[in-house]
Structures are given as C-alpha cells and as structure tokens.
Structure 1
Amino acid sequence: MMKKKLTLLIFDATGTPVKQTTIPRMLLPMAFMFFMAGAIALYLGISDYLRMKTEVKDVHSLRSSLQMQEERVVQHQSQIVAFSNKINSLNTKLAELDNFEQKIRIIANLEPNNDGSSIFGVGGSDPEDLDPTTMMVQDYQELVRDMHVEISEIDQASHNQQQSFSSIFSQLEGKRNLLAATPSIRPLKGWISSRFGYRESPFTGRREFHRGLDIATHAGSPIIAPADGLVTYSGRKGLMGNMITIEHGFGMVTRYGHTKKLLKKKGNRVKRGETIALVGNTGRSTGPHLHYEVRLNGVAVNPMNYFFN
C-alpha cells in the first residue's frame, strides 16, 4: 500500500525551482491542530491580558476615588471639629456676658435678673460640653444632633441676653434722667447763714420752721440751676421777693427767693450749671442772700442732702 505524500517546490527570487521536498499527508491535520491550538492559546492570552489591564485600571480608579472620599471625610471632620469649637466659644462668651450683666446690675444698683432669661435659663449646658474628638468616634450622627441642639439654645440665649441688656439700658436711662433731674450741686458759692429746720425768726423772734437754706454772698452773684428742668414760675412772690421755680421731674422742685434779677422766664428749659438769676435782697430779707428750697412731691426737704459738691 502506497503512502500518500505531498510534494512542495521551493523557488528562488527569480521564480526558478531550487528545491523539492515531500511531506506525508497525515501530518497536515496534526499541523492544523497545532496551529489552531496555538491560535486559541494566543487569543486566550491576549484576552486575559486585556481583562487584567482593564481590572488594574478599575482598581486604580477605585483607589483614587477612595482616596478622594477619605480626603473629603477628613475635611468634613475638620470642619465639624472647628464648628463645634466655635459653638463652645460662643457658649463661653454668652456665659461671660451673663456674668458681666450681673456685675452691671450690682454696680448700678439694678434689680437682679431672675426671669430665667440667661443662657442657663433655657436648659443650656456648660460651655465645654461638646467634645467632638471623642464623640466623632462614638457616633457621628449624635454629634451632629447635639450641635443642632446647642445652636438652637445659643440662638434663644442670645435673644434673651439682648432683651436683658435692653432692659438694663432702659433702667440706666431712667436713672440717668433721674440723676439729671436731681438738684445735686450748690446753686451758688457763699456761706450758709440759716439752715433747714426749726429756727428763731430774725424778724419776729419766734420759733418757726425754715423750709429752705439761706446762702449769703455778694449781691449780683450768679445763681445756677442745680439740675435740668423747666421754669414753672418767674416773678414777684410776696415775702420771697423776686422768685424763680424750676420743676425737674420725678417730683423734684426747687425754688430761689430774694433774687435781684430773674434771667429765665416761665416755660424756659434750663440745664444743670446754667445761670438763672442774680443774688439780691428783695422781699423780706436782712441782706443779700439766696433762699434755696428743694421740694420732693410737694414736701420741703433738706437741700444739704442733695449737695454732691
């Protein structure tokens, strides 16, 4: 039985046959199979390479994304820590304002604030209550909730503090007006010739109640207003001679008798230290002097108690 063979001719560059070889035909299927196996192996290798390359690329992308997320988390944590520290700082400052308010009330002799409107009156905690570094590890959401609660309490406390300071301002304003209306300085320089209270009358020799203070000095000396007020009388007044009356408010009234010349008219407003008249000897008088009266709610009081100078 003859074996089947395949004859191959090998040509040179000019096309002339230079070699002849014979290959058994049974080797062709085996060669084809080896070729196909090599092709398949090459395909699988290339596929694995491309898949691994894609996976490596995805891993790098995920790693980059994870790093960005970690950076964002660190940034958010830093912001939360900074924000919680600001909350603690605000709490501390509100507590300091509350203490400052109490000092003002003591110094100005104002009523203490007992209406529960301070920072501690709204359920607020101590200034160092938030600890973000510890609470961040325990529960992030709990820290955020506590921060919202603190912010709400700070907002309420600041509103109450504003109202409290407004109340202080109103009270101080009232005291300022009261001080401005209080006859606290001497109406003129001189020596006291007759004091407030019971005395022997220089005209009748009888014991009588002297409702003012007699201050003797040279005629024509200026008389000044001891406090702000409104002139309610300016003219002749019987035994008081030329007299001027000033209403200061808060029930305070002052009167000035025996003047030589009145420099203010009824209806004029005067300021503390402003000249209102000149010392004289009008009415029933033994010599140039000022009869000075202070009346509180219609009752004559000792003018000496109101001299601060």
Structure 2
Amino acid sequence: MTLHSSDFQRFVHIAQRQLSAFVRHVRANVRDRAIPAARRAAERGSAMIQQRPGVAAGVLLGCGALLGVAGHSLFRSAEQQRLMAAVDAQQSQLEATRREAQREVNALAARLGELQADANRLNALGERLTRIAQLGDGEFDFQKPVGVGGAGPVRDMPATELRSGLGALGAQLKSSGRQLTVLEALLFNRELDRHAMPSRAPILNSYITSGFGGRADPFGGGSQNHKGVDFEADTGDPVLAVADGVVTYSGVRSGYGNVVEVDHGNGYVTRYAHNSRLLVQVGDLVRGGREIAKAGSTGRSTGAHVHFEVWENGVVVDPMQFLGGQPTKKG
C-alpha cells in the first residue's frame, strides 16, 4: 500500500486530534493515572509514525475506534455516578423530611394528649355539676358526639393552621374549665345553703300539738306568745337536727329544760327543748337528720313533746315556713 504525502499528513492530523481529545477527556476524569500512560502512548505513536508510516496509520485508526468506545464507556460511567449521587441526595432529603414530619406528629400527639386531659377534666366536672344541680344525665357529657355539618370544597389543612386550631381549642377548653369551676363553686355554695336551711321536722312520724304565735298559757290561763312549734313525742323518741350545722349550746335553759341549739352558718339557728337527754356537745358538727337528743318533758312542760324554734338573724320566726306549712301527721 502506497501513501501519498498529503494522505499521510491527513492521517497524522486526524490521529493527533483524536489523541489530544482522548488526553483531555482522560485528564478531566482520571488525571493522575491517565496522563503518564497517554504520554508514553503518544511517544510510542510518534516513533511508530516516523519508522513505519503505513502501519502507524492503521494503528492510529484502530486507536481512534478504541478511544471512541473507551470515551463512551467513561461517559456512561460518569453519568451513572451522577445519577447515583442524585438518588442518594434525594434519599437524604426524603429522610430529613420524614424526620421533620415525625417531629411534627410527635408534637401534635403531645398537644392532643393535653387537650384530651382537659376534656376528661371537664367531663368529670360536668358529672359533679350534674349531681350537685340535679340535672338530667348527659347535660354535661363532653364525650357524646355532637351533630355538625356543612357544604363546600375540602382542602388540605397546613400544619401551621392545624397547630393554630389546636391552640385555640386548648384556650377554649381552659376558659370553659374556669367558667365551670366558678359554676361548681356557686352550685356547691347553693348546695351548702340548701343543706343548712331548716327543711325537715325535728321528729319523725309526729304531728303538731301547738303552733307558733299567740295561744292560751297551759299553766293557769291567760295569753302567751309561743316562740316555736310543739311536736307530739314519747319520752326517748329521737330528736333530729333539721339541717347541717354546728352545735353552739347543749345544756339547761330556764323554762326550756334540756336544750340543744344548732347554728347553720347562714343566719339561722334552731332550738330543740324539753329533751330528756342530750347526745351532742358544743362544737359538734351535725348533718341534717342526725339524732342530737332524746325527747322528754324537762323544764316548763305538761308532758313529753319536742319544742322546736327557728331564729333568723337573731329574730324568732315561724318554723312552719321552712316545713312547707304542712304538719307531719303521726303514722
């Protein structure tokens, strides 16, 4: 095969351009290892070109093909590395997003637990109010589902809006709790007042033998202002406190015989007279219905009975207004 000088120069120019491109490509990817090898290959190629031009031209063409294949392989390897790096970066970002979302869920779960505790407290408070106020069951049942509705498109709720809503709900629950606590105190005070109000007869299964106000004196005639109400009783019958209170007197008073007096703490004091025996002492706390004495006929009395008086802010009043105006009949 005979090569003209122009063809030879063209082949040499092509080979040198391919070698230069190869060297630049390898230098960009594997600089430290490829440059010495490329330099040696270039030196051997130059020697071969000078000594055997025909063979060198074939070798150069083969090298060009090999370099093309090698370059394509290197390009594919670099592209794969780039894609793997991108995938790793996305996975890292997804993991960071997952951790952040979990922190948000944990925070919302903690806040939800606080709101549930507030709701449970309000429910317990509602049950107490139901008992105190004698309301129907379910009046303060906060766990009962409430009917709601509405029309319109639904959208995703941002986390910030959800946190804001939970905060507002928490504030509302606390405000409702404070209001119910005040209501509980008012109802409790009302309940105390109710229990401290004379509202029952001082003896069971009895009837009134002498009413309040003017009457004929049973000891020798004439008129007398009767300060209380007399209930028929047998000696030893239980005498009962008509309301909650504190015993302020337990002893003998002129004309009354053995007397018990109870202060109910709301301006009312009750007196139980002519007892045969006293069962309480000064300072004792008594509940309505508790036995405080035994009926008798001590003091200025014609026979066994219970003399009952009610004093309101230091003034004696008719006990019948607290007993519903109806005498208790003996059964």
The reply to whether residue 165 of structure 1 matches residue 180 of structure 2 is: yes
Query: Normalising to structure 2: TM-score of the pair?
Result: 0.61
Q: How has the CA–CA distance of structure 1 residues 264 and 78 changed in structure 2, closer, same or farther, with 3 Å as cutoff?
A: closer
Aligned position for 2:201:
186
Question: Contact 1:135–1:143 at 8 Å: present in 2 too?
Answer: no
The reply to whether residue 38 of structure 1 matches residue 62 of structure 2 is: yes
- Show CA shifts across 1:224-254 (max 9, x none): 2223322222222222222221112111211
Aligned position for 1:177:
192
Q: How has the CA–CA distance of structure 1 residues 47 and 65 changed in structure 2, closer, same or farther, with 3 Å as cutoff?
A: same
Structure 2 residue identity aligned to 1:178: D
- Show CA shifts across 1:125-182 (max 9, x none): xx989xxx9443xxxxx83332333233223223222322321332233233323423
Q: How has the CA–CA distance of structure 1 residues 280 and 160 changed in structure 2, closer, same or farther, with 3 Å as cutoff?
A: same
1:50 to 38, 59, 74: 74
Q: How has the CA–CA distance of structure 1 residues 95 and 279 changed in structure 2, closer, same or farther, with 3 Å as cutoff?
A: closer
Structure 2 residue identity aligned to 1:240: Y
SS in 2 for 1:239: coil
- Show CA shifts across 1:241-281 (max 9, x none): 22221112111211011122223333333333332222111
- Shift of the alpha carbon at 1:193? 0.8
Q: How has the CA–CA distance of structure 1 residues 79 and 207 changed in structure 2, closer, same or farther, with 3 Å as cutoff?
A: farther
Q: Distance in 2 between matches of 1:301 and 1:72?
A: 81
Aligned position for 1:290:
306
Q: Which runs of 5+ in 2 are unaligned?
A: 1-48, 135-146, 325-331
Aligned position for 1:145:
160
Richer in strand (by share): 1
Q: Distance in 1 between matches of 2:207 and 2:254?
A: 25
Question: Contact 1:263–1:276 at 8 Å: present in 2 too?
Answer: yes
Q: Distance in 2 between matches of 1:264 and 1:186?
A: 18
Aligned position for 1:255:
271
Structure 1 residue identity aligned to 2:232: A
Q: Distance in 2 between matches of 1:26 and 1:73?
A: 64
- Shift of the alpha carbon at 1:91? 8.8
Question: Contact 2:108–2:163 at 8 Å: present in 1 too?
Answer: no
Q: How has the CA–CA distance of structure 1 residues 81 and 232 changed in structure 2, closer, same or farther, with 3 Å as cutoff?
A: closer
How many residue pairs get aligned? The number is 260
The reply to whether residue 246 of structure 1 matches residue 262 of structure 2 is: yes
Q: Distance in 2 between matches of 1:234 and 1:97?
A: 44
Question: Contact 1:224–1:277 at 8 Å: present in 2 too?
Answer: yes
SS in 1 for 2:276: strand
Richer in helix (by share): 2
SS in 2 for 1:220: coil
Q: Distance in 2 between matches of 1:277 and 1:74?
A: 77
Question: Contact 1:88–1:128 at 8 Å: present in 2 too?
Answer: no
Q: Distance in 2 between matches of 1:26 and 1:60?
A: 46
Aligned position for 1:224:
240
Q: Distance in 2 between matches of 1:26 and 1:252?
A: 135
Alignment of 1:85-100 (within 5 A): none
- Shift of the alpha carbon at 1:215? 0.5
Q: Which runs of 5+ in 1 are unaligned?
A: 1-24, 111-126, 137-141
Q: Distance in 2 between matches of 1:268 and 1:81?
A: 58
Query: Normalising to structure 1: TM-score of the pair?
Result: 0.64
Q: Distance in 2 between matches of 1:98 and 1:263?
A: 43
SS in 1 for 2:158: helix
SS in 2 for 1:236: strand
